[in-house]
Chains A and B, each alone.
Chain A
Amino acid sequence: MKKVFKKGEVLPLIGNEGIVVGALEAGVQSVFTYPGTPASEIGNLFYKIKENYGIYMEYSTNEIVALESGAGAAFSGLKTLVAMKHFGANVALDALIPLAHTKPRGGMVIVIADDPGCHSSAQSEQDSRILWQNLYLPILEPSTPSEAKEFTKIAFTLSETFQKPVIIRTTTRVSHQGGPVKIGQIKIQKKKGVFKKEKERFDTMPPFVLKQKADLISLKEKTEKYLEKIGLNKISPGKIKEIGAITSGVSHLYLLESLKKFNISLPILKIDSFYPLPSKKIINFLRKKKKIIVAEEIIDLIEREVKILSKEVNPQVKILGKDIVGLVGEMNTEKTSLLLTEALKLKYQKTPEKKIKLPVKRTPRFCPGCPYWSIFNALAKEIKKEKVVFTGDIGCYMIGYFPPFEMQDTLLCMGSSLGLAHGIDKSTKQKVIAFIGDSTFFHASLPNIINIVNNQSNPLIIIFDNQITAMTGRQPHPGTPLKYKTHDGKKEIKIEKILTALGIENLIILDPIKENQLLREKIREFLKEDKLKVIICRHPCRYVNALEKAKLRY
């Protein structure tokens, strides 16, 4: 098979592609993921190149399935990468915490991509680093695409050395940051793994799990030394001695930009490993300083640790961070400049506020020919939206929130439209319609649908089935038909067969574009009857083949 990347070549890559190349250079053998922005391109690239490099890669049903399967591969000795967005880490958390107590035989790297500013995350602004308090696993934070590559390689070596999974935490502005990346030697290691039984490594039965926990915590010091030895968490010197900056991730770049603008040189400690934090280095860095600036994304986690450490060594030091820039929204150069202004009492000339108000934002809308548009159009024609509760979910049908339809009254997380519909139906006399997508159906809906059948509520469930995971880039899912180019030759699972097996009789499958009148009839029917109804609206996304492998170009 043709190799995609050539050693020595400098390519323009985004952070997510950097992670893939880093994993290839580390000799990754198996990859498990569920798509989610800003992590999606990691899976997309592996999907396109897996045959070229003899890698096993799959789109798993959801993130916990990906993580557990990845753990199985790593327990069997294969170098494994699992990638997900921050909410995916919530889904996977049930397996992630015990997994931290085990000792994979192959290197295992887990990529978690946060989205400060909620650019592509409907639910909330979440800082996945906070997981460290339960995990005690190394968390590395790159700030550029080329660091994303290097840190992924380091993560694999670290994981193999200490026999623990290692986390790479990125944010949108790292995952989707473009920059030059030099390609190194790619290792190809095609071989089967072997699962060698060893309960103490892989089984977390109590009370042994407490011994495993003690081991896990004790790794902190060794890991810290190792990272120090390989040159992570560097201090760059500066001319001003009494003020210093501690930075991480992309915030490091914003601070450098501000320093350049003001022509100031400060000593900077760049935190590459959020866990273990280089505490000794931080303590030394704090000595003799009057002020410390902390620049990090989302929660003031490094800042709090720095405050605790300062009590010991320099209680007078003033620490400036989120109290200046706030806890909401992403970091940027304006914010790091504000921090500098405060610390150095500079006259920072903010760009004068424009007198004009920016015109309104163009909201997203359905692509031309989108089958979801036809579904909302049918709903709008048959229903006065004030009379019905619409529970929304995660997928392209969230566009129904915006004008002209404005049909989405709730939104929590993957699969939640069904739980909410059940709860509202049980608690009110109102009519409830739940929206759920096809990929979301497989990802997170089964326990909810079983609950609706078992505990008997009567919502209308509309399954928006465009046969692909459209919103994140048209990745295949378990229901994607074999006939599409993006299908991976897996077994196709039919949603209707699952629903029939659950005893749902009031089930209709229709094409929302070709059978729009029938859809309208079925909606009318539901408004009159008082029983559970499921309509599968099936019509392929117009861009169902967008992820076609032939389209790969570097």
Chain B
Amino acid sequence: MNILLTGIGGQGIITLKKVLSYAVLKEGKFFRSSELHGLSQKGGEVLVHFRIADQEIFSPLIEKGGADLIISLDLYQASRVVDFASKKTIFIVDNSFLPFFQLKKFSQSDFLKIASPFSKKIFILEASKICQEKLDSDVYKGIALLGFTCFQKIIPLKEKSMTWALKKVFPADLFQKNKKAFLLGKTL
């Protein structure tokens, strides 16, 4: 399964990758991923390629049109990766948009106009809103989206392995909040 994780620098995309990595290994599966670091990620766009398989797979990169699942923490960033999508792609996108210098407004319908031709199904979810309400911060929205993909059985990983992975990635105090965020995925 080819998963693209995208968002804006500082939103915790690399952390999502870590959680997925541990969960994959917990289940005895194989993964290969690719991430970028450095200046362009500072408040700029972040894109992580993450490929899961039962046996060894090769390329760390997903080909254009080759994503099965795109998880995006920002509507606009999801629209930036439609070249990786196709008629078999599922989008899971947080209903938020962080404006930037060249673009002040970007709506759900702007996104749908761009992405609809290249998707099997699009979920636009209120993860940041609900995390803000229930956990006092939208920083947990990525984990909530992961929870959603897990409970909807969109990714081939069990809840147990994901919880174990959260425990590996976060220290005790943050683990509790992130587990709550993960469970919020059920209600999205």
Interface residues of A (CB under 8 A from B): 10-12, 14, 37-38, 40-41, 119-122, 144, 172-173, 176-180, 250, 253-254, 256-257, 260, 332-334, 351, 354, 356, 358-367, 396, 398-399, 402-404, 471-473, 551, 553-554
Contact = CB atoms under 8 A, between A and B. Distances in A.
Contacts of A554: 168
B91 to A, nearest CB: 15
A363 B32 CA distance: 27
* Residue of A12, A172, A260 with highest tally of chain B CB at under 10 A: A12
B138 to A, nearest CB: 14
Contacts of A180: 25, 30-31
* Residue of A38, A178, A179, A554 with highest tally of chain B CB at under 10 A: A178
Contact of A179 (B31, B65, B80, B103): B31
Interface of B: 8-10, 17-18, 21-22, 24-25, 30-45, 50, 57-61, 63-66, 76-77, 79-80, 82-83, 86, 100-103, 114, 117-118, 168-171
A346 B66 CA distance: 20
Contacts of A473: 37
Contact of A173 (B34, B43, B77): B34
18 contacts: A37-B39, A41-B37, A121-B38, A178-B50, A254-B59, A257-B58, A260-B58, A354-B83, A359-B114, A362-B43, A362-B77, A362-B80, A367-B10, A367-B42, A398-B39, A403-B101, A471-B38, A473-B37
Contacts of A256: 58-59
A30 B31 CA distance: 32
B32 to A, nearest CB: 5
A120 B69 CA distance: 26
A359 B63 CA distance: 19
Contact of A399 (B39, B45, B114, B117): B39
A362 B61 contact: no
Nearest to B74: A362
B83 A257 contact: no
A294 B51 CA distance: 25
Contacts of B169: 553
B34 A119 contact: no
Interface of B is mostly: mixed
Contacts of B24: 12
A362 B100 contact: yes
A322 B169 CA distance: 42
B59 A472 contact: no
Contact of B35 (A14, A362, A367): A14
**What 10 pairs between A and B have smallest CB-CB spacing?**
A120-B38, A12-B21, A178-B33, A364-B44, A37-B38, A351-B65, A365-B43, A257-B59, A256-B58, A257-B58
A173 B80 contact: no
Contact of A119 (B17, B40, B118): B40
B102 A360 contact: yes
B60 A173 contact: yes
A179 B50 CA distance: 10
B59 A253 contact: yes
A363 B44 contact: yes
A365 B66 CA distance: 30
Contact of A364 (B39, B80, B171): B39
Contacts of A11: 25
B18 A176 contact: no
Contacts of B30: 179-180
A356 B111 CA distance: 12
Contacts of B9: 364
B114 A356 contact: yes
A64 B103 CA distance: 43
B46 to A, nearest CB: 10
A177 B103 CA distance: 32
A365 B44 contact: yes
Contacts of B83: 354, 358
A364 B35 contact: no
Contacts of A38: 37-38
A178 B18 CA distance: 9
B101 A404 contact: yes
A367 B10 CA distance: 9
A404 B99 CA distance: 14
Contacts of B8: 362
B109 to A, nearest CB: 14
Contacts of A360: 102-103
B60 A253 contact: yes
Given A178-B33, A362-B80, A553-B171, A367 B64 contact: no
A362 B43 CA distance: 8
Nearest to A172: B36
A94 B65 CA distance: 46
Contacts of A472: 38
Nearest to B77: A362
B39 A122 contact: yes
A253 to B, nearest CB: 4
B18 A12 contact: yes
A351 B63 contact: yes
Contact of A334 (B40, B63, B76, B77): B63
A120 B45 contact: no
A363 B59 CA distance: 27
Contacts of A10: 25
Nearest to A404: B101
B57 to A, nearest CB: 8
